Every structure is written in structure tokens, then in C-alpha cells.
Homo-oligomer: A and B are copies of this chain.
Amino acid sequence: MPVLIDGLQCGYFNREVFQELRRGSVTCVTITLGFWERCVETMDRIARWRDMERENADLILIARGVADIDRAAREERTAIVLGSQNAELFEGRIRFIELFAELGVRVVQLTYNNQNELGGSCYEQEDSGLSRFGRDVVREMNRAGIVVDLSHVGNRTTLDAIRWAQKPVAISHANADSLFPHKRNKTDDVLRALRDNGGVIGCAAYRNITGDYFCSSLDAWCEMVKRTVDIIGIDHVGIGTDRSHGHAQIDLDWMRMGRWTRAIDYGAGSAAKPGKTPPADWLKEVHQLGDVPAALTRAGFTKQEADKIAFGNWRRLYAATFPA
């Protein structure tokens, strides 16, 4: 039985991080292959993960199906789900979707911080909605077994994608905008559409989109989780910390500016908060994720409800979307 599934982490993984994940009983984590990386660069990252899997086979495995997540749970390893925070890896090619699925990619966010050929992002002034290519990509991802992730996607494109998808979708790492207003967070109408689609939102712990209060203690964060459940129900809320590993300013610059601007972009930050924000007070060490299940129970969830949030909802979504 899995213990905890984290719907999104990013940064530099290595043996120490894998040991921390084990210490926190993290059964499964979706990692970030890239933000702006296109085909070849993403393949570099996949290849590096193959190496890391071989080098750390006692701690991790790359999950291709839900059976691998269950196996990781049995063997006390962490299942790695390969995800990309942008669709650039496809390089505009509908046919690359099944090729990357074959290489093990299981989650792709339609847009990162910028509009692309698929649709609008949460930071664009105008959100075009899902484009013609975007529609084809959503259906092809459904067919190929890749989860459609809408976390950084604009609200209009998010709603379009939810309506257009033939399988449940993910908002892997975001919060309810009604609980902490931020462009990166999702309005209640988007969350209700997600619920109607059978999808899952992973509640984030990234300070810029979670706020100091919900970062101040694990109980405060579980209060946010509970209020999110109040909006869309117990079957649609999971964990998606957005926890990063070893990011320095140069990595933040890449995430925010990539190659697309000569100016400064603050991403989820601002001129007042330009730099790296500290992790949530309750998540200074990755292994502290292991405290989440007990805290969910403390927050008033039954064991069964806490299990849905800690792993069951993600497991159900992955089972419904990963390749058969």
C-alpha cells in the first residue's frame, strides 16, 4: 500500500534526496524533466534518470504504470514519475507524444509560464484558450497515456482542456485562489470543473503561491487542504508540494526567463520578492513529508479520507490515465 504520493517536485535529485524521500515514506513523486527544454534536452534528462535509476536501484524505480508504484510501496522504494512542466519537448509534433510516452514520460503540463502553441498561461494578459493544436495534443496525450497537467496553464485554457479531455486531468501543483489569491492558483469554477472531470489538484507548499500562514505549520497547511476539500470534495485533492532540490539563483533564472526574454521576470515572485523563497516552515527537510498523513488525521480527516489525499486520489488518476 502506498504511503504518500507527491504530484510534483523539481530540482536536482541525487542519492541524498532519494534517501530523504525514503525517510519521509514518499512512495511516489512526479519529477520535473524540464521547463523550457525541447526534445533533445528532455531526452538528456530522461537518459540521466535512467542512469540514476541504475545507480540507485535500492532506493528508486522509474514508474511506467501504477503496478510500478505499488511495487515501489511493497519494496520500500520511491517510484519516480517522469513529468515535464512544458510541452516544448514535443517540438510542435503530434507524433512525438507517443514516442515520449514510450520513453516513459507520464505527465506533461500544457504550458509553463508562457503562452505556447497549445494555449495560454496563467501569466498572460490574454488567455487564448486551447488552440487547435492544443486540442489534438490533449486527445493524443489521453490516447498515449500521458497525464494532462494544467497547473501553470491559464484559467480559460484550463477550462477548455478539462472540457476537451477524454480522461481525468491534473492540476499537479497549485492551490485554490479563493484561499490564497495568486495568478498561479485556481479559481473555484476551475476547481469545480476539475471535480466534474474526475481530476485531482495537488496542494502546493511553495511559499509564493501558498502564503506565509499556510507555510507556518503543517497543521496550518492541512487546514488549507481541508478548505480545498470543502470546495471540491475528498476525491479530488492530493499533494503537490512543488518542493525544489538544490536550486540556486541560476536555476530560478532559467525557470523564469529561460531563453525567452532579455528582461527580468519574477515568475511567481515579484519585485518585492525577487529571489528564492524559503521552503514552508514545516518542509525544511524533505523527509518531513512523512508527517503529513498523521497531520491530516489531526485536521479531522478519517483514515480513509487521509489516505485519499496522501496517495489514493493520485493513484486513481494515474491508473485511469497511464498506458494500460
Contacts and interface: CB of A to CB of B under 8 A. Distances in A.
Interface of A: 39-40, 43-44, 46-48, 50-51, 91, 93, 95-96, 98-99, 102-103
Contact of A95 (B50, B93, B96): B50
A43 B51 contact: no
A99 B40 contact: no
Contacts of A95: 44, 47-48, 50-51
B91 A47 contact: no
A50 B98 contact: yes
24 contacts: A39-B39, A39-B40, A39-B43, A40-B40, A40-B91, A43-B93, A43-B96, A43-B99, A44-B93, A44-B95, A46-B99, A47-B93, A47-B95, A47-B96, A47-B98, A47-B99, A48-B95, A50-B95, A50-B98, A51-B95, A99-B103, A102-B102, A102-B103, A103-B103
Nearest to A38: B40
A95 B103 CA distance: 13
Which of A48, A96, A99 lies at the interface centre, i.e. has the most chain B CB atoms within 10 A of its CB?
A99
A91 to B, nearest CB: 6
Contacts of A50: 95, 98
Contacts of A99: 43, 46-47, 103
A124 to B, nearest CB: 27
Contacts of A103: 99, 102-103
Nearest to A51: B95
A46 B43 CA distance: 15
Contacts of A40: 39-40, 91
